[in-house]
Chains A and B, each alone.
Chain A
């Protein structure tokens, strides 16, 4: 079993995202939906989660909590070498240990990073499995390796794959870049660096597999049950029809749980061999090594601007490293968001002997936005312009820098206004670093663009029972964004019920198809599909009620669990009574069919940050963040605010603390835990004010809603870096902005 094929679908960490969203022609809806007219009672208000009680009492079933009768525990032996030839693997001793039920060799040939799987065991308990791993004898022939980008880029560096370590993977150009530089009054060039970041979801990766004859059931901590099912079918060479994948609750994913994982294939193989259910729960250390990361990026931007703030040229060269896989496409924001006629992009991937990258909440956009937005502030300073004015000056209403098709809706201008007012933008230092004293304060902002559209073909059902109960069903997954809750609110809104009256069923491949929960796609896929099903149910019930009340269906109104005559509200029939009239349960199928072509569908936002920098210690403290987003119709204000707060918090963490460190000597990750890999705590985060622009996309779907998963993660690092710049007058172009880097930057300023 070669590792290579397992990761085939993660070849380019954001390729899947990219292909999915970029101006793809979709099926033309029969009649363009006009959602902006709808006024809602529950949708868009503050609704607590319908499953909150389960979560706060510890009853919500996570994959870690699954325990089946006779279940074995699997463990994986991983390579300690960053690069080595596996000469031989002796499993005999492990196999003969009492309590060991299955042993597998997973690797022949070359291991390419420390942490790559070599063998696996399943035993009656975890301790026995661990003991068995120690009895596996692997003979390695260690080979030279390159674990840092610098080393991998050197002449004659050890090659990670059978090709040079540096590979160009993306190019773009429009206009004439040289002409753009000539037209500019000012041209500058700067380099921005971002570190490799680990997802570290609270629940480590894990799966449970159980065979019943030819049928396989897998419980997986995943963002994509259908992808896991289809991936397992492919790798195990069995029909997808015989596989069921279940995910009820998942402790975070952030992109690292998209698609089938190699250990999930392994757990299914172990279960087959042992003829018993097997569970694998990866350790925190394994989570640091082999289930994905956000690629590093080293981006050089050269750009030109006229004195009035008109951008004339933007050139980006990006070296990005996703370990043994390709890095991230970081150029999208630079290509798209601002008006600039001359743009050139070259992106190169640097292979290193470290774990493979995977999409990480807004892949590429996080790194790209940090560089672009920092660069814009440096340009603004060169021409003495307010950085916000520079952005307004180059505002667009069409995509690809105002050169292609119009955005279906774009509320970025309103984000600027709301954010600037709320933070008090006028308070900022007019000249960066103009304050005095040891502690300096500054304000900064940054803009954001992302996709956040739905997946055409998403299915959902609304089921009516004769006893008056209602189900909303979809094979989607709730990552913690409140999917269950908005499925309930949309159904309830449409049928005149309360959210708690709706039983929501999600998280099984036996339910109607839904794509992976990644790319901010879940809400704009699932909400319109469920609305579509619920509207069909409402129509059917209206007809039924009209018959009973002997009036036309057009005269029926639904409210508060009643169907009544609009013209004579005294005449009504209750929801429960009406459902009792059904001869059998009735299912209504809904689908999200797509959106009209000819428009670009994007989400927008801007973050405004206030920071305090201690110029003696180099410590940065983020005091306040105003995060404004335009995502079309907000489905639930309460959960949407949480999403934004979470994105900002993660961004603060990335900006100040997070970095995976690999030892050049041994090739091993030296901070594979949560003590040395720092994550922000309660004490590190600022006051966060989430705001939403009140608008509805007129055509994206029948609810006018876009996604929100990624957007709040994107602009925060740029806003913080720009606030630090505003405070101390020198730009820290390297995140995490640890005190040493801040002090170095201050020194650079002194030297001038």
Chain B
């Protein structure tokens, strides 16, 4: 599953992905498999699928361990914002259309509004609050300030996390690669060109350090 996702990110842009989704090809092939997995993990000893049973999970968020009891329907976004008070991760559409809630899950970017908290059990999560180390901003955060790569600032955490994910995988991306890598995030104020400028500046300073 994770592999498939990784591959998709490399080869699909948001629009391509949506096009495919509209055509039904992806929805037919991937979704049932996904559901089957989740349902299997939910079955009780008697083979019943409990509708409201809560589950204990352990999340490592920004290098801190949290043990939580969650409902199967709770999204990772909900747990982060409402239970752990990590409100840096934003809810913009709550349906996987904008990337405002992007977090790193074992290093990979995911839309936390589409990711059920129970699936994140045992995983390592990094939110925008966890990127600075020892009080020093991440080079991506530095570059966003320097380049003024934001306006209202609401989509910024999502863009910062997506940029970090991109630069962790691709140390020296071309402009085209940056654009593709960040095309899953929407900025309504329309500051994209400053955002990808910032990502480019950050990649340079990350390579230097």
**Which A residues fall within an 8 A CB radius of B?**
48-49, 52-53, 55-62, 64-65, 67, 200-204, 249-252, 254, 281, 283-284, 479-482, 638-639, 641-643, 645-650, 653, 673-675, 679-683, 685, 687-688
Contact = CB atoms under 8 A, between A and B. Distances in A.
Contacts of A653: 190
B30 interface: no
Contacts of B179: 682-683
B26 interface: no
Interface stretch (B3-11, B34-42, B104-112, B123-131): B123-131
Contacts of A479: 151-152
Contacts, number: 179
Given A49-B145, A202-B186, A252-B188, A57 B137 contact: yes
B95 A673 contact: yes
B192 interface: yes
Nearest to B92: A202
Contacts of A58: 86-89, 127-129, 157
Contact of B152 (A252, A679, A687, A688): A252
A284 B93 contact: yes
Given A202-B100, A480-B189, A682-B192, A65 B87 contact: yes
A673 B190 contact: no
A681 B181 CA distance: 11
Contacts of A252: 151-152, 154, 188-189
Contacts of A56: 128, 137, 141, 144-145, 150, 156-157, 160
B154 A62 contact: yes
Contacts of B93: 284, 673-674
A687 B13 CA distance: 19
Nearest to A204: B92
Given A58-B129, A680-B190, A480 B151 contact: yes
Contact of B145 (A53, A204, A682): A53
Contact of B180 (A254, A641, A674, A683): A683
B148 A49 contact: yes
A660 to B, nearest CB: 15
Contact of A645 (B15, B91, B127, B191): B191
Contacts of A673: 93, 95, 97
Contacts of B204: none
A72 to B, nearest CB: 13
Given A284-B97, A682-B180, A682-B185, 17 more contacts: A52-B148, A52-B150, A55-B150, A55-B153, A58-B86, A65-B81, A202-B152, A203-B152, A251-B152, A251-B155, A252-B151, A284-B92, A642-B191, A679-B186, A682-B196, A683-B179, A683-B180
A55 B156 contact: yes
28 contacts: A48-B146, A52-B150, A56-B144, A56-B157, A58-B87, A61-B87, A65-B81, A67-B87, A202-B92, A202-B152, A202-B187, A249-B152, A251-B154, A284-B92, A479-B151, A480-B151, A481-B151, A642-B150, A645-B191, A645-B194, A646-B189, A647-B190, A673-B95, A674-B186, A681-B14, A681-B192, A682-B182, A682-B196
A255 to B, nearest CB: 13
Which of A200, A681, A687 is the most central at the interface, judged by chain B CB atoms within 10 Å of its CB? Answer: A681
Contacts of B132: 57
Interface in B76-107: 81-82, 85-95, 97-98, 100
A642 B192 contact: no
B18 interface: yes
B172 interface: no
- The 4 lowest CB-CB distance pairs between A and B, nearest first, are A58-B88, A649-B190, A251-B154, A480-B152
A249 B15 contact: no
A56 B159 CA distance: 9
Contact of A646 (B129, B153, B190): B190
B17 to A, nearest CB: 10
Contacts of B87: 58, 61-62, 64-65, 67
B11 to A, nearest CB: 14
Contacts of B150: 52, 55-56, 480, 642
B88 A283 contact: no
Interface string B52-95: 00000000000000000000000000000110011111111111
Helix, strand, loop or mixed for chain B's interface? loop
Nearest to B182: A682
A250 B148 contact: no
Contacts of A641: 148, 194
A64 B141 contact: no
A74 to B, nearest CB: 15
Nearest to A644: B190
Contacts of A679: 186, 188
A203 B191 contact: no
B106 to A, nearest CB: 20
Contacts of A283: 94
Contact of A60 (B15, B89, B153, B180): B153
A687 B175 CA distance: 12
B117 interface: no
Contact of B190 (A638, A648, A675): A648
A203 B156 CA distance: 12
A481 B196 CA distance: 19
Contacts of B196: 682
Contacts of B100: 202
A179 B101 CA distance: 61
Contacts of A675: 18, 95, 97
B35 to A, nearest CB: 21
B195 interface: yes
A202 B88 contact: no
Given A58-B88, A249-B153, A680-B190, A642 B97 contact: no
Nearest to B99: A681
Contact of B193 (A59, A254, A688): A688
Contacts of B190: 645-650, 653, 680, 685
Interface string B170-209: 0000000011101101111111111110000000000000
A104 to B, nearest CB: 24
Contacts of A639: 148
Contacts of B151: 252, 479-481, 642-643, 646
Contacts of B195: 682
Contacts of B95: 284, 673, 675
Contact of A649 (B90, B148, B191): B191
Nearest to A643: B151
Contacts of B129: 57-59
A436 to B, nearest CB: 28
Which of A645, A673, A687 has the most chain B CB within a 10 Å cutoff?
A645
Contact of A203 (B81, B154, B160): B154
A252 B153 CA distance: 9
A65 to B, nearest CB: 4
A202 B193 contact: no
A59 B135 CA distance: 13
Contacts of A685: 190, 192-193
B191 A202 contact: no
B80 to A, nearest CB: 10
Nearest to B82: A67
A653 B92 CA distance: 19
A52 B160 CA distance: 13
A57 B131 contact: yes
A654 to B, nearest CB: 11
B15 A681 contact: yes
Contact of B15 (A203, A251, A683): A683
